[in-house]
Structure formats: structure tokens, C-alpha cells
């Protein structure tokens, strides 16, 4: 087996349940990079929410934000876009209006480039702030839309049942082109139809001039499934849903048990067999 490039999801995969990068995962990934294998992350998060990982691991490869909505590098303390896919602004306006009518208790926020915006800071957004360590910029969505600034992701946070109901409700509108899916039972994310992790993986592999057969992908959620299918080698986390585990070549330990470190050691640094 030859592995030249590794893509890892963040939440539920590389990060522990508290959203932290463990020392064990960090050390193993640094060892992996030092051995000559490229490592990067593919996440639904914004670039700013990924910054602590980028700096800790000194990632030099292009990275995937917003599930493929933005491909970028981090150079000289700046985010440098490579490729961008945004949600049509008229669809953002329509979705926001439907949410207000159907389920106004959901917290609405959105992302433009690396910045995070919200109209109000409800209880669920406060939870998101604790996870990411960031604070959204307060802004009226209608005013933001008038500015014609691009939106890479719209995010709804709320009770699991209400999020599931809203996902089904919005997906029934056939005129919407945006991808509408949950990344977690409490999170509903709206991104461009072209924002997919598998397409982004192919783009970065080509950018790095690495064949897909030499790519390893690690994930835990439904939004990782296409990426896992696309890579030459795939790993599901121990905490992944059964359908994800069935679709991969390997299943590692959970994110609470440093599953990423465990599988990388197993595949890249196996213990020497005694003679």
C-alpha cells in the first residue's frame, strides 16, 4: 500500500467530542508529515474555525472548508482562496423567509469567505461559540444580502427533531439548487450544489499531482461518504454510523479514543515483527 496524501474530517473524526485536538493525534500526524506524507483536513467548518489545527499541525497543503465550498491555503498569516463555490443569494433569502415562517426558534448564521455572521446569538449559537472559540459578527441578513457579498454556507442550529423536519421541508422545494443536509443531528447546513468533499479531494489531489489510488480519507458522517468512496483507501471512525462503516476499507477507534492516530500508526508505522 502506498499513501501519499491523507484527508481527514474534523468534527467527529480528528477532534475529540469536546472539539479539541489530542496530543496523541497531533504527534502522530506530525510524524506522518515528517515522513513525507501530505496531510490536510476536509471540514464543514470555516477557515477561521480550522486555524488552530492548521497552525498546530503546520499544514502546507490546500485545505477544504464548507464541505468543499472553499478550497484554500494558509500562507503568511493569510487565507488564500484557490476555488470557491457559493450559495445563490436569492436562495439564501428564500430559505431564511421559510425558516422564519416555519420554525423561527432555529438559530440562523452564515459564512462569507472566512467570516461568520449571525442576526442574533441564541442559545445554540452560544454553544457553537464554545466549540469554535469564535464569536459571530452580528448583522441583519437582509442588509447583508443587499451588499451582494458571497455566502459560502448558511447554518441552522436547533433541536434535533426540528432540524430533521426542516431538512425534509426545504428539500421538497425543487427549485432550490443548494445542497441541504445535516452535518450533525442539531446542525443543518446549506451550501452550493458544487460544494462536495469528493470533488474537492480530486481537485487537491490533482493540485498535488498525487493519484487517487494513493489517497487515504478518514471520516465519520454522511457528508464524508462521497469523499470516502472517492479515495483509494478509506477509514470510518468507530463512532461513525453503520452505513459509513460498511462503505470503507477500515474501521478505526472512536474520536474519543484517538482513532485517527490509531489507524495511521497501523497503516504507516506498523510495529516491527520480531524475528
| pLDDT per residue rounded down to tens, the chain (275 residues) | 899 999 999 999 999 999 899 999 999 999 999 999 999 999 999 999 999 999 999 999 999 999 999 999 999 999 999 999 999 999 999 999 999 999 999 999 999 999 999 988 888 888 888 888 899 999 999 999 999 999 999 999 999 999 999 999 999 999 999 999 887 789 999 999 999 999 999 999 999 999 999 999 999 988 899 999 999 999 999 999 999 999 999 999 999 999 999 999 999 998 755 44
The pTM of this model reads 0.89
Cell of 155: 447554518
CATH topology for 89-191 is 3.30.1240
In whole angstroms, give the CA distance from residue 53 to residue 47: 10
173 near 191, Cβ under 8 Å?
Answer: no
- Cα-to-chain-centroid distance, residue 116: 15
Q: What SS3 state is found at 80?
A: strand
Range list for CATH 3.30.1240.10 in the chain:
89-191
pLDDT of 272 reads 59
Counting other chains too, the contacts that 38-41 makes at CB distance below 8 Å and 24 or more residues apart are 38/4, 38/5, 38/6, 38/208, 38/210, 39/5, 39/6, 39/8, 40/5, 40/6, 40/7, 40/8, 40/64, 40/204, 41/7, 41/8, 41/9, 41/10, 41/14
Q: Considering only CA atoms, which of 54, 134, 217, 55 is closest in space to residue 63?
A: 54
State the distance between the two ends of the chain, measured CA to CA, in whole angstroms: 23
pLDDT of 275 reads 47
Q: Is the dihedral of CA 176, 96, 90, 126 positive or negative?
A: negative
pLDDT of 24 reads 98
Range list for CATH 3.40.50.1000 in the chain:
5-84+195-268
Q: Considering only CA atoms, which of 242, 193, 192, 249 is closest in space to residue 220?
A: 242
Q: Which residues of 203-241 are buried (b: 16+ CB within 10 A; e: fewer)?
A: bbbeeeebebebbbbbbbbebbbbbbebbbbbbbbbbbe
201 near 231, Cβ under 8 Å?
Answer: yes
DSSP 65: E
Q: 5-84+195-268 — its CATH code?
A: 3.40.50.1000
Amino acid at each position: 500500500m502506498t499513501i501519499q496524501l491523507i484527508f481527514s474530517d474534523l468534527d467527529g473524526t480528528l477532534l475529540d467530542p469536546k472539539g479539541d485536538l489530542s496530543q496523541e493525534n497531533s504527534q502522530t500526524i506530525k510524524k506522518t508529515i515528517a515522513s513525507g506524507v501530505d496531510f490536510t483536513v476536509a471540514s464543514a467548518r470555516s477557515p477561521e474555525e480550522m486555524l488552530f489545527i492548521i497552525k498546530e499541525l503546520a499544514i502546507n497543503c490546500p485545505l477544504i472548508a464548507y464541505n468543499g465550498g472553499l478550497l484554500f491555503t494558509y500562507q503568511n498569516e493569510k487565507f488564500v482562496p484557490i476555488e470557491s463555490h457559493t450559495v445563490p443569494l436569492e436562495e439564501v433569502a428564500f430559505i431564511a423567509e421559510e425558516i422564519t415562517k416555519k420554525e423561527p426558534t432555529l438559530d440562523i448564521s452564515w459564512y462569507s469567505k472566512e467570516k461568520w455572521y449571525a442576526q442574533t446569538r441564541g442559545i445554540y449559537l452560544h454553544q457553537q461559540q464554545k466549540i469554535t472559540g469564535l464569536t459571530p459578527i452580528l448583522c441583519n441578513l437582509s442588509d447583508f444580502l443587499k451588499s451582494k457579498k458571497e455566502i459560502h454556507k448558511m447554518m441552522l442550529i436547533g433541536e434535533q427533531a426540528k432540524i430533521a423536519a426542516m431538512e425534509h421541508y426545504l428539500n421538497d422545494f425543487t427549485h432550490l439548487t443548494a445542497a441541504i443536509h445535516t452535518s450533525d443531528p442539531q446542525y443543518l447546513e446549506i451550501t452550493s450544489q458544487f460544494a462536495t468533499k469528493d470533488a474537492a479531494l480530486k481537485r487537491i489531489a490533482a493540485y498535488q499531482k498525487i493519484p487517487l489510488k494513493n489517497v487515504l480519507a478518514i471520516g465519520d458522517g454522511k457528508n464524508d461518504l462521497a469523499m470516502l468512496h472517492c479515495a483509494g483507501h478509506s477509514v470510518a471512525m468507530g463512532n461513525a454510523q453503520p452505513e459509513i462503516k460498511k462503505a470503507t476499507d477500515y474501521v478505526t477507534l472512536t474520536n474519543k479514543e484517538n482513532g485517527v492516530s490509531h489507524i495511521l500508526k497501523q497503516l504507516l508505522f506498523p510495529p516491527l515483527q520480531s524475528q
